[in-house]
Amino acid sequence: MARNLSVEERFENIEHNLKYISEQIEGAAKKSGRTADDITLMAVTKTVEPIFINHAIDCGIKLIGENKVQEFLSKEEYLKLGNCDAHLIGHLQTNKVKQIVGRVSMIQSVDSLKLAKEISKQSIKNDVVTKCLIEVNVGDEESKSGISFENVMPLIEEIASLEAIKVEGLMAIPPICEDNEKLCEYFHKMNSLFIDIKGKNIDNINMSVLSMGMSGDYREAIECGATMVRVGSSIFGPRLY
């Protein structure tokens, strides 16, 4: 269906969707005792062509997220990133770290010490400090990347001593849940861990970002404490692979 829409129509849809999502974010933020300013909306741009990404940026999007190093690098030169940050949100292989360090302002998918060490090493080489989030496999799903819930604290303690990587918070993709209650349990579990780690005031660890919630569940995530939501298809329409 989306295949038949004209560029103009897709532009209009993006505008309309962003307006709607902003209102939803505002409502959910209020329910959690916050305001829309406390929540960052990331536009997830995997499979989306630069012309549409740039339109979202023209409409006020200040942060995009890409899953794959190669896809981001191939689009980068066409994107209006002057006033818009880019984060890597997909699984990162150690051997691709050197290609992405310095190109994005945050890597949200750090889930092992080996990966963190390589990010720190490549960051030193590039004379940058790379911000990152720890990706948590909150539902202990075999199919998903991320570190297990129990191992988050030990990993963070080890990363804290690395020179050129700075932990800014946590990221999670909860399991697909049939009911909201179960889903919110996962979001609450993440929020508790986030608050817990923040309270420990560990040197070099700055718990300011809790990245959770996607097209289907960003409102619930915000109500449970998310500070950043990552929304793709609800902005750009269904992905065509």
Return the residue nearest ligand PLP (CB atom).
232
Planar angle of CA 208, 143, 75, nearest 5 degrees:
60
Beta carbon of residue 109, minimum distance to ligand PLP (angstroms, whole number): 7
Beta carbon of residue 236, minimum distance to ligand PLP (angstroms, whole number): 8
Beta carbon of residue 173, minimum distance to ligand PLP (angstroms, whole number): 6
Beta carbon of residue 199, minimum distance to ligand PLP (angstroms, whole number): 27
**Interface with ligand PLP (CB under 6 A):** 44, 46, 67, 89-90, 173, 214-216, 230-234
Beta carbon of residue 116, minimum distance to ligand PLP (angstroms, whole number): 18
Closest CA to 110 of 58, 164, 63, 36: 164
CA–CA separation, 120 vs 112, rounded Å?
A: 12
Closest CA to 45 of 3, 17, 13, 79: 79
The nearer residue to ligand PLP, 123 or 234, going by C-beta atoms, is 234
The nearer residue to ligand PLP, 39 or 173, going by C-beta atoms, is 173
Strands (E), the chain: 40-44, 63-66, 85-88, 106-110, 130-137, 147-148, 165-172, 205-211, 228-231
The nearer residue to ligand PLP, 87 or 166, going by C-beta atoms, is 87
The nearer residue to ligand PLP, 75 or 121, going by C-beta atoms, is 75
The nearer residue to ligand PLP, 137 or 162, going by C-beta atoms, is 137
Strand, coil or helix: what is 62? Answer: coil
Task: Return left, alpha or beta for 157; rule: phi > 0 is left, psi -120 to 50 is alpha, else beta.
Answer: alpha
The nearer residue to ligand PLP, 91 or 103, going by C-beta atoms, is 91
User: At residue 137, what are phi and psi to the nearest 5 degrees?
Assistant: -85, 80
C-alpha 152 chain-centroid distance: 17
Bridge-based pairing of strands 205-211 and 165-172 is parallel
Could you identify the residue written with the tokens 């890409």? 66
Beta carbon of residue 230, minimum distance to ligand PLP (angstroms, whole number): 4
